[in-house]
Chains A and B, each alone.
Chain A
Amino acid sequence: MAAVTLPIGCLSQAALATPSGKHIALEISSDGDLLAFKPDQLSCPAGAAVHLTFHHTGKYVSQDHDWVLTRPGAAEAVAQAALEASEKSGWTPAKDPRVLAATTPCGKGQHVSVDFTAPPPGDYPFLCTTAGHGAVMHGVLHVTPG
């Protein structure tokens, strides 16, 4: 199990200045070996301290998955960046300014976690950035007013 905490400098100052003080635990998994998240919709209040755990429930296929939260409207570009990046380029979601939070990749039967502060209210897309997966393995984090 790996945990990643990303800097949240990309979030608005309002969100940082008025944290809700709430702690939220979110659980999400792959849909078995299918390229899909289950569930593909999550929600949390703005400013909450979120601890998200992603479970890779695949049984057959040796493919890595991760869980990556992006700015609204940025998911497609992030998925494309992941698809076009070669292993040599060193692109990782955590280094991309369009990314708000990201777990490390994990293999079947494993789980990974990430801690982050929920951004301001809105709908934030999340996806798997394993090359090619983001086009179909995605969902939305609905952030409600704290």
Chain B
Amino acid sequence: MSRLVACLHLLAAAVGLCLIMPVLAAEPQSPDMVKTGLHILAGIYGDMDRKLTAEQYDRLPHENQEFQEGSGALRDAVAHDPAAFKDKVEAALKDCLAAAQKVADESKSHDKSKVSAALASLATSMKALNALFPAALRSEPGTVDPPWVKHQK
């Protein structure tokens, strides 16, 4: 009887593991492409941040355009993943794209506080997008751009 209970426990654990694995790991089919896709978006975010710091508001709509284009890399990266996972990525990506568009829209006001708030909202969306992938593949906004040049000052 105790052996049967142990087997049932093992079976339950295995089933539970099977159910939870996709949520925990979410290991994509093309991890290198995902890593690059997330890195591209984080790089453009960094560029937006630098333009804001320099108060180059008129350049931000172009950065938004780059962000929209760069999202294609992540879409291609998950193209062969299960539909349920792709849907999650697509939903998170849509939030990011809307947030990036908001940065471009707010840039027309030349109001630093409004643009900063829009950029912070974009960062939040990007963190949610990154959270769908294993930590090793993520490029969180604000982490891609190290302080100036490791080589020379």
Taking Cβ atoms with an 8 Å cutoff, the residues of A that contact B are 32-35, 59-63, 72-73, 75-76, 79, 83-84, 86, 123, 125, 131-133, 135-136, 138-140
Contact = CB atoms under 8 A, between A and B. Distances in A.
A125 B40 contact: no
28 contacts: A33-B40, A33-B70, A34-B36, A34-B39, A34-B40, A60-B69, A61-B66, A61-B69, A62-B66, A62-B69, A76-B149, A83-B50, A83-B51, A83-B54, A83-B56, A84-B54, A84-B56, A123-B151, A123-B152, A125-B149, A125-B151, A125-B152, A131-B59, A132-B50, A132-B54, A132-B59, A133-B47, A136-B46
A138 B153 CA distance: 12
A61 B54 contact: no
Contacts of B100: none
Contacts of A123: 151-152
A63 B67 CA distance: 11
Per DSSP, are chain B's interface residues mostly helix, strand or loop, or mixed? helix
A76 B153 CA distance: 7
Interface string B110-153: 00000000000000000000000000000000001110110111
User: Which bucket holds chain B's interface residue count?
Assistant: 20 to 34
B58 A135 contact: no
Contacts of A59: 73
Given A60-B69, A133-B47, A73 B59 contact: no
**Taking each of A72, A75, A132, which has the highest tally of chain B beta carbons within 10 Å of its own beta carbon?**
A132
A61 B153 CA distance: 29
Choose among B70, B144, B146, B152 the residue with the greatest number of A CB atoms under 10 Å from its CB. B152
A16 to B, nearest CB: 24
B28 interface: no
B137 to A, nearest CB: 14
A32 B66 contact: no
A135 B40 contact: no
A138 B148 CA distance: 9
Interface string B44-79: 101100110010101100000110011011000000
A76 B56 CA distance: 18
A75 B73 CA distance: 30
Most chain B Cβ neighbours within 10 Å, of A33, A72, A140: A33
A138 B152 CA distance: 10
A59 B46 CA distance: 19
Given A34-B40, A73-B152, A125-B149, A63 B56 contact: no
Nearest first, the 10 closest Cβ-Cβ pairs linking A and B are A132-B50, A132-B47, A125-B152, A140-B151, A60-B72, A35-B43, A61-B66, A61-B69, A61-B70, A60-B73
Contacts of B44: 61
